[in-house]
Every structure is written in C-alpha cells, then in structure tokens.
Structure 1
Amino acid sequence: MITRRHFIALMAAPVLTGLYTWGIEPTWAEYVRLRLPIRSLPTVLAGRTLVQLSDIHVGDRVSSGYLAGVFAAVARMNPDIVAYTGDFISYAGPDTLDQLRRLADRLPRGRLGTVAVMGNHDYGENWIQGEVADAVGQILTGVGCVVLRNEAVDVHGLKIGGLDDLWSGRSRWGPWMSGLNSPALMLCHNPDACDLPGWGDYQGWILAGHTHGGQCRPPFLPPPILPVKNTRYTAGTFDLAGGRRLYINRGLGHLTRVRFNVRPEVTIFELARA
C-alpha cells in the first residue's frame, strides 16, 4: 500500500532530479588531472601543465558569469600551455561575437603558448558561414591565441598541429603534417576525424571535444545521444589504430541547459616523457 509519505517521495524525485540536471550540474565544472606521456618530449617541457578547454559555447544559453569564473580558476593555475578544441560560440547573430569579445580578455592563456582549433558552431548557421569563423579567429588572435587551421606551430620544441573543423568541410590533411614527428600533439574538434584517412605516420595524442560526453548519461549505461558517427567516442581516453591515442574533453558549455552524470570538464594534463 502506498502511503502519503511514499507518494510525496515518488513525486519529489523527478522534480529534484530535474532541478539538479538544470540548476546544478551544467555549471559544476570538474577539474580532471591526468598525465600526458609524449615520446621524445623536450626536457624543458617535462612536468609542465597543459590545460585543455573545449565547447565553451559563448552565447545566450551559457552563463557568462559561470564561464568567467572557470576562466579565472584556470588562470590562477598559471598553465604552461592552454589548448582550446573548438566551439567557442553558439552563433545566433552578431551579438554572439560581441559576447565573445567581452569575454576574450578573460580566456586563460599559457605561459609558453596558447593554441586553438575551430569547431562546427564557430562556422555559424549550418556550419557554412566562413566569415563567422574568421571573426572568431580574429578575436582569439587579438588576445594572443594561435588559431590552427590545418597547420602546426612549435611550442618550445613540441609540435602542435590543428585540424580545422570536420562538419564545416574545412578539415585538410596534407603536407603540413609532415613535420609532426615526435614530439608532437594534435588538436581536432570532432573525434570522428580520427577515423578518416590522412593521418599518415602520426603516432601521438589527439585532443578533441564536440561530444559534451553526451550531456546526459544513465548510470552504468552509455549516453543515449551523441553527435558522432563512431558512438564509442563519448569522453575520456581511447586507443586508436596506428599507435595514436585520443582524449575527448566533455566541454564547458552546453546547447541545451541540461547535464546528468556528465559534468562539464577542464582537463589539466601533466606533460611527461613517454
């Protein structure tokens, strides 16, 4: 027999869960600390920190105050390298770019270098607005971030390559990757790019985002919705063919304000010699 107390508990459970998934977890960032072993890493970089931030989604759906708080916390860590893996904005018109401009000075930067790649949302509506991505790139460049669009940069002996966004059709593998021998690190937004040909002899780490970890994941089960073809690409570390390894960050922001069992993430890597 269901008592009044049982009835109240049954009614309250979904309400409390809804309040948690909307009001708490979407802005309850988790700071994940991991070791990132890289072959032939220069001695000067061993023990240094690389912070990965992804899927910030500046716009009307994500609180600028929340983002500014996370940015300040990361800046206090004095990271050596900061790597952004795309989706800086959720584009809804020129006002979105103004919001990014207002937050740009607060974006954490690395003492040795700050690098970034573009995500699909950085290309505006239907991922086809190249002028929007160009504007995002200009804003980032203006605050000292090196935006990698199918190109690589040297950061104190570590080659960091950046693949442009997959869904926008801007990803280009090619001769620019020939210098990515160890020690090297690759950035790409969408982990599905890891399954496409063109990686050649690259055998290092790839840092990605895009999935948000699914945003909602039932306990002990995979997330029911993922924006990737390869549905094993949820979040965390994956071994790939050809000696490559992939890490997928769960992202800071959201498209719909809901997260359950998939907290937003800041990844703090300690660089190490493999």
Structure 2
Amino acid sequence: MNPILFFTAFLGVFILINMYISKRLIAKLDIKDKYKLYLRVFLIVNFFGIIGYMLGRYYVDIPNWLYFLFSLPIGILFLLFCTAIIYDISRVILHHSPISQKRRNFFKRSLDISSLVVASSLSARAMYEARYVKLEKVNIKIKNLKKPYKIVQLSDIHIGGLIDKDFIHKIVQRVNALNPDLVVITGDLVDIDVKHAKETLDELKGLNSKYGTFFIVGNHEYFHGIATIIETVKALGIRVLENENVYIGEDGEGFNLAGVYDVFGYRTKTYMPDIDRALHKLQESPTILLAHQPRYIEEVKDSVDLILSGHTHGGQLYPFKFLVNLVQPYISGLHQHNENLQIYVNKGTGFWGPPMRLGASSEITDITIIPL
C-alpha cells in the first residue's frame, strides 16, 4: 500500500473515533463546560500523539522515552472508544427506562462517573500488564511420537520502537534458562527497516538449543523488505523455513518440522505459502507445522499433527479480541481442531502499537510434546 494513502486512511479512522467520543461521551456528561473543554483538549493532544507515533515508527528517529509517550495514545483512544460505545448504549437505555426522573438523574450521574473511572483504570491496567512477558508451560500429546521434546515458541516480537536490544537480550536469557531442544519464532519478528534492527537482531545469536532456532515470516515482514529480512535472519544462524521441512531428532525417534510463508503472500503474489511443497517428502514421523496465522489451518493436510501459530496477540487489548475472532478461528492457547490435528496460538512475545495489553499477556511458550 502507498505509505501516504495508508497514513491518511489511518489518521482518518482516528479522527472519526475522536469525533464519536467527543459527541457521544464528552458532550453528554453532566459536568461543567470547562471540564468538557479539558477532555476535548486531551483528545486533541492524544491525536497529535498518534501522528508522532506514526512518524517515529516509520519515518524519523526519536528518543525512546518520547516514542513511549507517542505509543500510548492509540491504546488510550481505543479503550475510550469502547467506553463511549457502552456509555452511549447505557444512556439510551436509561433514558427510556420507566423510572422516576430523580432516580434517572442519580443513575445518570453514576454512569458519568463510572465511565471516566473505568476508562482511566483500564488504561493504567493495560500499561501495567504490558510490562511483563509471562512463561506459559504447555504439554501437548502427539500420536506416534517416540520420546518427549521441549520446544520454546516466540512469536510477534515486533522489533522496533520499544522492542529493542535490551528487551531481546532478556528474552534470550529466559529462553536459554529453559534448556530447550529447539526454538521456533512464528513470524512478525521485525517491524521496521531491517537496517535499523540489525543490532537488536544480533542478540538472537545468543539463543542456545540442541537442534537450533527456526523461523517463519509473518505478515509484517512483507511490509519491510521480506527478502532482506530473510537473508538477515539466516546470517544469524537461524534456519528460515520457506515452504519446506526438516527432521528434528534421530531417525525414527524425532518429528518433521515444516514451515510456510504467511497467507499475506497471496496478496503480493510473492513468497506465497505452499503446503504441498512444505510437506514434500516427510519422514514417517509426526509433523509439526509453523504457520503464522491460525486461519491457515483450513489449508492444512491430514499429515500434520500440530500447528504452532501467532499473529493474534490474543487480542492484545481485550475488547479487540472480538474483532480478531471474526477473521481467525483461534485466538490463543491450545485447541483440538479435529481428531488428528491440534493448534497452539501464541499471544505474542512483544506487542504492536501501544505498550498496552489487557486480558492478553505477552508470552514465551514452553511446549513439551509427549507421546500419546
């Protein structure tokens, strides 16, 4: 997409959201006009923060502390928007309720106060939750597997902005402490021009495991020069699975590990996923497929036992989870798709956009596959 067109459309959406919040929330509050003015000024400042975020992420270099401040407005605005919708619906219901005017006024004042308190509290909580990356331990039983293997899954790190060298260094230390058999990174590793991410990516050289680290591209790699990103990741000693498979373990006792390009490749007509090629010449052992988006499960063959995905961020900010669910069959965690196929969806090790998470913590996934 043309950057100018994307930038214009992006800001246009936020202008409409600001207008809705101003007219359907702020204008309806029973507070003094000067406080309404303060809230509208806050919306304007918040909007300019979003512009600063876009410029800082894709066009100009800014200090990390300033980038942090510019990152918050998107999340704050989204939570305000959700609050405004609930407030608007509640206000209409209250207006038509068969109660006395005195009681209606009481409930209206309560609604006004609680709406502002809830929006502020959720924003603070979301910023707090984003500070921590949780370790999720999962045991997955797989048919015909001969012995257990430990796989550590990272996904949706989104290097760039606040996801910097120090963040990756700490992630690498935590992964190595788990002593995994292999590490897999299921897409959206880089979210800026790779020349600005080189120093941060170099930290991944420190990952230690018995069989190595494996990577597949996500949709965001297509936005920042997918070919260059693939070559850069390969130079780190990480195996990039490009519609292909490798065998993990000793013959007869291991499993096939396959990986495909992301479904976003269908839009670009380059680097398109090809499940037949990815599963070509599999050994007679269980197969694990790395596919960035859970919805790729509809193209998967019967020969696959487990899919490891990401992309959804678990919704990242809880109300957004319902929108994600419209396009993805699974949002997070382990699911039995059919009799033979399971899927695990990582909620993301980093975050995209605001440093905020609500009801969807970042995760490092410690997966132990065990014989059924």
Q: TM-score range, shorter-chain basis?
A: 0.7 to 0.9
* Contact 1:87-1:119 at 8 Å conserved across structures: yes
1:172 to 244, 269, 274: 274
Deviations 1:79-111 (A, max 9, x none): 1111110110113x34443344343334x3422
Match of 1:267 in 2: 365
Match of 2:247 in 1: 154
Amino acid at match of 2:289: M
Change (3 A) 1:252 1:209: same
* Secondary structure at the counterpart of residue 158 of structure 2: coil
- Matched residues in 2 for 1:176 and 1:244: separation? 17
1:113 to 194, 203, 212: 212
- Matched residues in 1 for 2:309 and 2:324: separation? 14
Deviations 1:190-233 (A, max 9, x none): 1111113xx33324000000000110225xxx823318623x41
Match of 1:15 in 2: 120
Match of 2:132 in 1: 28
Amino acid at match of 1:21: A
Change (3 A) 1:8 1:225: closer
Q: Which has the higher contact order (CA 8 A, sep 6+)?
A: 1
Please say which structure displays the higher CA radius of gyration. 2
- Matched residues in 2 for 1:203 and 1:101: separation? 31
1:79-228, aligned counterparts within 5 Å? 79-91=180-192, 93-106=193-206, 108-124=207-223, 132-156=225-249, 157-169=254-266, 170-180=272-282, 181-196=284-299, 199-217=300-318, 223-226=321-324
- Matched residues in 2 for 1:134 and 1:104: separation? 19
Change (3 A) 1:228 1:69: farther
- 1:248 lines up with 2:332 in the alignment: no
- Matched residues in 2 for 1:64 and 1:265: separation? 18
Deviations 1:141-171 (A, max 9, x none): 2222111010001111321000111112211
- Matched residues in 1 for 2:175 and 2:278: separation? 31
Change (3 A) 1:62 1:182: same
Unaligned runs of 5+ in 1: 126-131
- Matched residues in 2 for 1:261 and 1:208: separation? 19
Give the aligned CA root-mean-square deviation in angstroms. Answer: 2.6
Match of 1:234 in 2: 331
- Matched residues in 2 for 1:10 and 1:175: separation? 53
Match of 2:157 in 1: 56
Give the % identical residues: 24
Change (3 A) 1:242 1:39: closer
More strand by share: 1
* Contact 1:117-1:189 at 8 Å conserved across structures: yes
Question: Displacement of 1:172 after TM fit?
Answer: 0.9
Unaligned runs of 5+ in 2: 1-105, 267-271
Deviations 1:100-128 (A, max 9, x none): 4343334x342223211110111125xxx
* Secondary structure at the counterpart of residue 324 of structure 2: coil
Q: TM-score, normalised by structure 1?
A: 0.82
